Every structure is written in C-alpha cells, then in structure tokens.
Amino acid sequence: MKAAIHTLGCKVNIYESEYITNILKENGYQIVDFDSKADIYIINTCTVTNTSDKKSEKMIKRARKQNKDAIIIAMGCHAQIKGDNIDADIIIGNKDKSKIISLIEEYQENKNKIKRIYNLDNISFEDMYISSFNNHTRAFVKIQDGCDAFCSYCIIPYARGPIRSKDPKTVIKEITSLVENGYKEIILTGIHTGKYGKDINYTFEQLLKDIIKIRNLYRIRISSIEINELTDPILNLIKDNKIIAKHLHIPLQSGSDKILKLMDRKYDLKFYKDRIEKIRKMIKDVSITTDLIVGFPNENEKDMEDTLKFLKEIKFTKIHTFPYSKREGTKAASMENQIDETIKRKRVKTVLELSDQLEQDFYQSKLNETEEVIIEQTKDGKSYGYTSNYIKVEIDSPLKPNEVISVKINKVNNKKVTGKII
C-alpha cells in the first residue's frame, strides 16, 4: 500500500512525522509524495494560529479529493483541539501516534471512523525512537513534550498537555545511534525545551552535559529556549564546548513591557536585555534569533515603536514575526481592544523589513571570517551548508552531504553568503 504524509507546524511535528514514516516503511508501506495518488494520506496538523487551522483543513480536503477511496488520517494539534469537526477516517490527537499501524488495521477491518482524542492532564511521554532521517542531513531528536507556561495568547498547553520528558538514557541512545549512522548535527527539539527534566528530577543542563560526551558527535543545536531558562551553567557549557552550536533562538514576543505583562510572559525587557548582553559577552560570534507577535490586544502605536526600538537595540540576527491570532479558549481571546487585521499586516511588514536589514548586517559582520560548515546539499555544482551560528553558506564546489569543511566567508549579497574553502 502507498502512504503519503504532509507535515505542518513545528520541528516536533517534523520529528513525529519522520517516526511515522519509518514505522510505515518497516511495515511494508511505500511512501509517496503527497501530490501522488495514495491509499493512505496522513496530515500531521498544527493549530498555533488560525492560518495553521485553515492549512490543516485544506490539506485534509485535498487528500480526500485526490483519492476518495483513500484512508484519511488527521493527527496532532489541530486534531486534538478540533477533532469533533474534522472530516477524516482516523483522528489522532496528541496521544497514540505510535499506534498508527494498529489503528490503520482496525479501520481496514471494520471501516468505522476512529477518534483517539484524550484528556491530556495525566498523559505520559509517548516514546518515539529514530535512528535515521529520510532526505535529511541534520537529525531532530524530540526530548520533551507539553508546556505549562499558559501564555495568554497560546493554545499549545491545551493541545499538547503538561510537560513530560524523554528518559535521558533513551535520548543518549537515540543520539548515539544517529551519530553512528553518519549524522553530524543533532537538533534538540521539544514544545518547551528548556523545561526538559522538570517531571523526572533531571535538568536540561544535565542532559547537555551527557550529550557532549557522545563519541564522534560533531554538533548539537538547541532548537529554541526561553530567556529565563538560559542559566549561567548552560551558557558556560555553550561557551566552553565547541560541540554546542553558537546559535540561540530565544522568543521575545513583544518589545513592550505592557504587552509582555498582558501576554503573561515570565520576564520584562530589562531582564531580557541584561541576559542577552551577558550571552554576547560570554559567547563569541553567537547568533540570536527570535519570535515576535504583533497586533496583540491593546498594542498601540507607541507599543509598536517601543518594540522596533528594542529589536534594533538587541540586534537579532533574524526575527520570525507573526500577527496575533485569536485562539478560542485562551485568555487573550476575550480581551478588549482587539487589533484590526490591516494594522497587523502593516506591523508584520515593518518588522520583516527590519529583520532583513539585521540579517544582512550580521552576515556582513562575518566577512573574511573562517567558519566550519556541515554540507547539507549539492546542486548545480555548488554546495550548501550551515555554520555553527546558523549562517547558510554557498560553496562553489560539489561536496558530499555531511562533509565538514572550513571556509572563509568572502561575499555577502542580499543575505546570500558565499565562502571559499581554505
């Protein structure tokens, strides 16, 4: 049988889809492109914004249209929140994804719609284990699930449930296996990565210390971490160990203290700025990227001006910006002074223009510097890969994926960075 998978949303979803791809293959399924005619279509959904919901529904409808006789499976966050209203044959929320083979077999046997949506309050970590990634040179390892921050705008704690962590021995075993299979870079991912271990009397710092001991591991990258979870011991680990990538994605969400308070974020601007200054002082050449929400309820023009000023002060390498999206059931959804969509779009555009400039400035600052690059792909006689501080570099030579080379950055043009092998 042929199966096709489409993944929406975060790196955790990418990891989970990869796991499902692998177990489908192990059970004799042929994996095909989503645009192809398949017997089974799996949509790994996202619900972080209204747009995510719409994209999830669109892909479910598209699958049904491509083959009306196919088994349609919706899984993940949108399925967890909107499961009662989804037109799919099998609906799996954020539990029982690892049972997908048995659920397919159950459906094939009786043709009755299956819905696996559970209350997540007391859920345990659903173990998934991957030893290889299809068509990837970097490998993701999901170390954690769930979130207990309950920021006022965010639906994810309701969609993913409470914090739960993968056993550290399993994490080490999984990374060791990936390294043995040739992967040079491992990306640690989770819904709230810095809270890893909270539920098992362990810490993210302890995990990093265990990981850097793995033989032949070249680079470990932290997908995202909150500013108040970047403790001094963790910063010292990054500073002292070449193996930990010098790139940190640290969500900001707003450059206005008023808005941060309304968002129920756990820091103010002074704390954020002080920590960033400390990070830059401790870690040479660190690249810092961020997430930003604009158009949050009660965000006025002064708040936006303050945000832009703060973004310039921090000098992020890149800013991932999103218009505020009202999520039913969250605190912010019932707030007064909701912002017009036209104003949101305008503010997004302004931030993106600033982000482009800051990204260009960061790359320019690296001209003539030597960086180590892990090659990801070769195309038309050129190779492409990433530095430790997450600069994508083009090299004018065909090289093998996962090859590590030293390059001198010799040209930056409109965010395109080229390097010469040295």
Note down the domain range covering 404.
370-421
Round the CA-based radius of gyration of the chain to a whole number and report it. 22
Query: Which domain CATH number covers 355?
Result: 3.30.750.200
- Cα separation, 279 vs 57, whole angstroms: 41
Does 102 share its domain with 132? no
Alpha carbon separation from 12 to 50, 94, 120, 318 (Å, rounded)? 19, 11, 17, 21
Does 201 share its domain with 272? no
- Under a CB-based contact definition with an 8 Å cutoff, are residues 159 and 77 in contact? yes
Backbone angles phi, psi at 137, to 5 degrees: -105, -20
What's the burial of 98, exposed, middle or buried (CB within 10 Å: 0-12/13-18/19+)? middle
Query: Which domain CATH number covers 62?
Result: 3.40.50.12160
- Under a CB-based contact definition with an 8 Å cutoff, are residues 419 and 393 in contact? yes
- The enclosing H or E element of 103 equals helix 100-110
Query: Which domain CATH number covers 197?
Result: 3.30.750.210
Please tell me whether residue 59 adopts helix, strand or coil conformation. Answer: helix
- Cα separation, 377 vs 136, whole angstroms: 9
Does 218 share its domain with 127? yes
Does 17 share its domain with 101? yes
In this predicted structure, what is the pLDDT of residue 270? 98
Q: Which of 62, 87, 116 marks a domain boundary?
A: 116
Does 238 share its domain with 337? no
- Cα separation, 190 vs 101, whole angstroms: 24
| Contacts for 26-34: CB closer than 8 Å, 24+ residues apart | 27/101, 28/1, 29/1, 29/2, 29/3, 30/1, 30/2, 30/3, 31/2, 31/3, 31/4, 31/5, 31/134, 32/2, 32/3, 32/4, 33/4, 34/4, 34/5, 34/6, 34/59, 34/63
For the chain, the first-to-last Cα distance in angstroms comes to 49
Does 219 share its domain with 254? no
Structure tokens at 111: 């043709």
Does 267 share its domain with 351? yes
- Under a CB-based contact definition with an 8 Å cutoff, are residues 324 and 153 in contact? yes
CA 260 to chain centre: 22
Does 139 share its domain with 227? yes
- Under a CB-based contact definition with an 8 Å cutoff, are residues 23 and 99 in contact? no
- Cα separation, 60 vs 83, whole angstroms: 12
Tens place of pLDDT for every residue, the chain, 422 residues? 999 999 999 999 999 999 999 999 999 999 999 999 999 999 999 999 999 999 999 999 999 999 999 999 999 999 999 999 999 999 999 999 999 999 999 999 999 999 999 999 999 999 999 988 876 789 999 999 999 999 999 999 999 999 999 999 999 999 999 999 999 999 999 999 999 999 999 999 999 999 999 999 999 999 999 999 999 999 999 999 999 999 999 999 999 999 999 999 999 999 999 999 999 999 999 999 999 999 999 999 999 999 999 999 999 999 999 999 999 999 999 999 999 999 999 999 999 999 999 999 999 999 999 999 999 999 999 999 999 999 999 999 999 999 999 999 999 998 899 999 99
In this predicted structure, what is the pLDDT of residue 393? 98
Q: What's the helix, strand, coil split of the chain in %, to 5?
A: 40, 25, 40
Does 256 share its domain with 175? no
Name the H helices within 263-324.
Answer: 269-282, 301-314
What's the burial of 273, exposed, middle or buried (CB within 10 Å: 0-12/13-18/19+)? middle
Does 137 share its domain with 241? yes
Query: Which domain CATH number covers 408?
Result: 2.40.50.140
Does 20 share its domain with 45? yes
Q: Based on the structure, what is the number of domains in the chain?
A: 4
In this structure, the number of other CB atoms found within 10 A of the CB of residue 388 comes to: 22
Q: Which of 49, 84, 116 marks a domain boundary?
A: 116
Does 13 share its domain with 28? yes
